[in-house]
A and B are shown apart, each in its own frame.
Chain A
Amino acid sequence: MSIATNGHPAEGDGVSKGRIKVVHIYPREMSIYGDLGNTRCLASRLRWHGYEPVIHQHHPGNDFPTDAHLVLGGGGQDSGQARVEKDLAHNADTLRRLAAGGTPMLMICGMYQLFGNAFVTVEGERLPGIGVLDVTTQGNAKRMVGPVVLETAYGDVVGYENHSGSTQLAPGQQPFGHVKVGMGNNGADRTEGAVTGNVFGSYLHGPVLPANPRLADALIALAVERALGVPFAPGRIDDALADEARRRQVRRLVR
């Protein structure tokens, strides 16, 4: 019997180290696989580190908050993608400008695809993406579904993929990680996701941030530096549960 160290992390001396604005784009249309957990995770961790999170949900048709410090997007259904297309095209310049300026972003699954150059459907129709990541996705009849373990700059990352698109990185495009277990971008080249500057694209649900707190804190550090112009000053967070959960998944899956 192991005892959980569910310690509630110290929240500093109560004085906020600064406000961080986290924007979740299309939480209704593009979050059916638990990706809202990434937003929940960042909000809690910001608080635990002593910062003041401000969560903004961006819905189609609303003004896009240009003062975003961190932008998150998730996976949705085909019908969800269709519902956000127009708004995404409308805000593409803003998102590209934020990305070029170093605003950290995490785009999962469907939004990862839409941040690429294009999605080509099974029928051959080419749906343009916003081109922040130099990737192109081809629709497939067969889905790639299952648990994933990646080797990344943030250590082993665990998650769950569930996508029909097969994504190819353009020459020179960095992947987010390399597949130890699972299919990744396309099931062939062992790459998973894509990283350009501070923009991360990945197929990993899980949700990926609570399960992999190093990645979460890396995004927070980038957001803090950009928002406040000072280095990230982390608080002490007990990540024993996340670490043990991840270790167990890696042990189960990697043979």
Chain B
Amino acid sequence: MPGLVVEKVDPRFLTHALADLPRGVVVVTGTNGKTTTTKMLVAILREHGLGVFTNPTGSNFTRGVISSMLAEVPMSGRLKADIAVLELDEAHALKFAAAVKPTYSLLLNVARDQLDRFAEIDHTAKLLAELAQQTTTGVVLNIDDSFVSRIADRVREGVKVTYFGVDPSIADRLPELQEADVRFEDSFAPPPPTAADGLLKPHDERSFEVRFGDTERVGPMVLKQRGLAAMINAAAATSMAKALLANEFREAGAVRALERVEPPFGRGEVIDADGQPLELVLVKNPAGFTVALGTYGSAPVTTMVAITDDYADGRDVSWLYDVSFESLRDKGVGLTSGVRAYDMALRLKYDDVSVAEVEPDLQAALEHFLTAYRNEPKRIFCTYTAMMALRRDLAARYGLAKFGEDPA
């Protein structure tokens, strides 16, 4: 891995390459939505004419950033771009900040995720707060997530705090987006939203706008990616873009950019499989799986669930019991797969969801799924490494772009 080599050989490589970018470095982090939000923010900034350096989809460790830089850094060792927008894993965001102080940070949310790595949610929240403290110019925070909004009183003096969130009219949908059970009442109450804060206001299942104060609207617009989570990501990206661009921000440009963004690989990506849509939906943690089931629950199709337990997936599969699968009950599940296929089938049994077949081998499972359900729409919920493997097979089968070729 070239990024790893450079990280070891010259730890100052990052600092040097990112120094003096005229508009600085933006870090996007949080448990869920990093990849989608980063892609959206990059699209908006490019639509405004900025040269943006970003790390490719999902490579959210420091060395992933370095790897992607190697291709773009000229002999001078300095990047030719106006701004860098980097998606970083919560733990690696801090490592990164030790080398390069972010100009802006966009902090999305905190949820149970891979507790074998992060141990505690409180710990993850602390990592985000420390990142905010390292940020030099501005932070954009999720106003609805108390783990994130309360970071406002932790930033350095002079650092501007703005928020994104949901319009009060849909506050009743917050429980499906975050884990109320791990949030306790505390003394911190975020300030009432101002005209600098972007609030999501959906019109229906697909159309929405992002409101800034009483008069300013970005939208209405319709994303290619479905679901409330994607809309909130759009509100986050729009709020960050507005904070960055200030007077240069153009509402029409932002809408144009957001409506063109393709779902990142495996995040609700729709693949044409022998004339039928096949949706690939990445699920990494209880909040993400719950939101995914809510997003797709209104349109049940034949389903496969692939669960692996590599390091990148989280090795403990206990989290599957913090998700309710009742929305799959009517239609049942066609197939479970991955090394934990039997654990997943067992989990579904406890929610009275029938499972037609169990096939731990991912390739065999995919082959069977595509053949047995050839003439109907399909959906695969999968963990990260399962997604990588399945998508590689699907790419070969249907001639899709490979990873790293994601047209950002």
Interface residues of A (CB under 8 A from B): 1-4, 6, 8, 27-28, 31-37, 40-41, 44, 77-79, 83, 143, 145-147, 160, 162, 164, 205-207, 210-211, 241-242, 244-245, 248, 252
Known: A36-B322, A241-B342, A245-B340. A4 touches B122 (CB 8 A): no
A32 touches B112 (CB 8 A): yes
Which residues of chain B come closer than 8 Å to A83, judged between CB atoms? 184
Which residues of chain A come closer than 8 Å to B120, judged between CB atoms? 32, 77-78
A6 touches B355 (CB 8 A): yes
A6-B345, A34-B319, A242-B346 given; name 5 further pairs at CB < 8 Å. A6-B348, A32-B121, A36-B321, A147-B315, A206-B318
Chain B CB within 10 Å — which of A2, A34, A79, A146 has the most?
A34
- CB of A56, distance to nearest CB on chain B (Å): 17
Which residues of chain B come closer than 8 Å to A2, judged between CB atoms? 357-359
Which residues of chain B come closer than 8 Å to A211, judged between CB atoms? 343, 346
- Does any Cβ of A come within 8 Å of B182's Cβ? yes
Which residues of chain B come closer than 8 Å to A27, judged between CB atoms? 181
Q: Which residue of A lies closest to B112 (CB)?
A: A32
Which residues of chain A come closer than 8 Å to B368, judged between CB atoms? 1
Known: A3-B357, A78-B120. A44 touches B350 (CB 8 A): yes
Q: How many A-B residue pairs have CB under 8 A?
A: 109
Q: Which residue of B lies closest to A143 (CB)?
A: B119
Q: Which of B181, B346, B347, B354 contacts A28 (CB 8 A)?
A: B181
Question: Which residues 332-383 in B have Cβ within 8 Å of A in the complex?
Answer: 336, 339-340, 342-343, 345-350, 352, 354-360, 364, 368
Chain B CB within 10 Å — which of A33, A207, A245 has the most?
A245
Which residues of chain A come closer than 8 Å to B119, judged between CB atoms? 143, 145, 162, 164
A205 touches B122 (CB 8 A): no
A162 touches B122 (CB 8 A): no
B115 touches A8 (CB 8 A): no
B320 touches A34 (CB 8 A): yes
A160 touches B346 (CB 8 A): no
Tell me whether chain A's interface is mostly helix, strand or loop, or mixed.
mixed
Which residues of chain B come closer than 8 Å to A41, judged between CB atoms? 350
Chain B CB within 10 Å — which of A32, A37, A160 has the most?
A32
Measured between alpha carbons, how far is A83 from B185 in the docked complex, in Å?
A: 12
Interface 0/1 of B200-215, CB less than 8 Å to A: 0000000000000000
B346 touches A210 (CB 8 A): yes
- Does any Cβ of A come within 8 Å of B316's Cβ? yes
Known: A207-B321, A210-B350. A78 touches B122 (CB 8 A): yes
- Does any Cβ of A come within 8 Å of B310's Cβ? no
Measured between alpha carbons, how far is A205 from B317 in the docked complex, in Å?
A: 9
Known: A146-B315, A205-B316. A245 touches B357 (CB 8 A): no
- CB of A147, distance to nearest CB on chain B (Å): 7
Measured between alpha carbons, how far is A210 from B346 in the docked complex, in Å?
A: 8
Measured between alpha carbons, how far is A92 from B335 in the docked complex, in Å?
A: 47
A241 touches B358 (CB 8 A): yes
- Does any Cβ of A come within 8 Å of B406's Cβ? no
- Does any Cβ of A come within 8 Å of B20's Cβ? no
Measured between alpha carbons, how far is A190 from B306 in the docked complex, in Å?
A: 34
Known: A6-B354, A210-B347. A79 touches B321 (CB 8 A): no
Which residues of chain A come closer than 8 Å to B116, judged between CB atoms? 145-146, 160, 162
- CB of B351, distance to nearest CB on chain A (Å): 8
Which residues of chain B come closer than 8 Å to A207, judged between CB atoms? 318, 321
Measured between alpha carbons, how far is A37 from B351 in the docked complex, in Å?
A: 11
Measured between alpha carbons, how far is A1 from B346 in the docked complex, in Å?
A: 17
B322 touches A6 (CB 8 A): no
Chain B CB within 10 Å — which of A6, A83, A147, A211 has the most?
A6
Q: Which of B182, B184, B317, B346 contacts A32 (CB 8 A)?
A: B182
Known: A32-B121, A206-B318. A1 touches B115 (CB 8 A): no
B355 touches A4 (CB 8 A): yes
Measured between alpha carbons, how far is A211 from B346 in the docked complex, in Å?
A: 8
Chain B CB within 10 Å — which of A44, A83, A244 has the most?
A244
- CB of B354, distance to nearest CB on chain A (Å): 5
Measured between alpha carbons, how far is A28 from B180 in the docked complex, in Å?
A: 9
Measured between alpha carbons, how far is A3 from B231 in the docked complex, in Å?
A: 39
Measured between alpha carbons, how far is A40 from B346 in the docked complex, in Å?
A: 12
- CB of A75, distance to nearest CB on chain B (Å): 9
Which residues of chain B come closer than 8 Å to A40, judged between CB atoms? 321, 350
Measured between alpha carbons, how far is A252 from B181 in the docked complex, in Å?
A: 34
Q: Which residue of A lies closest to B343 (CB)?
A: A245
Which residues of chain A come closer than 8 Å to B360, judged between CB atoms? 248
Q: Which residue of A lies closest to B365 (CB)?
A: A1
Q: Which residue of B lies closest to A2 (CB)?
A: B358
Known: A2-B358, A3-B357, A4-B356. A245 touches B321 (CB 8 A): no
Q: Which of A28, A34, A248 contacts B321 (CB 8 A)?
A: A34
Which residues of chain B come closer than 8 Å to A146, judged between CB atoms? 116, 315
B358 touches A77 (CB 8 A): no
B342 touches A244 (CB 8 A): yes
B352 touches A8 (CB 8 A): yes
Which residues of chain A come closer than 8 Å to B339, judged between CB atoms? 248, 252
Q: Which residue of B lies closest to A245 (CB)?
A: B342
- CB of B282, distance to nearest CB on chain A (Å): 20
- CB of A217, distance to nearest CB on chain B (Å): 15
- CB of A49, distance to nearest CB on chain B (Å): 14
Chain B CB within 10 Å — which of A4, A32, A40 has the most?
A4
Measured between alpha carbons, how far is A79 from B355 in the docked complex, in Å?
A: 38
A34 touches B358 (CB 8 A): no
Measured between alpha carbons, how far is A4 from B342 in the docked complex, in Å?
A: 9
Which residues of chain B come closer than 8 Å to A28, judged between CB atoms? 181-182
Which residues of chain A come closer than 8 Å to B349, judged between CB atoms? 6, 241
Which residues of chain B come closer than 8 Å to A242, judged between CB atoms? 342, 346
A4 touches B340 (CB 8 A): no
Which residues of chain A come closer than 8 Å to B122, judged between CB atoms? 77-79
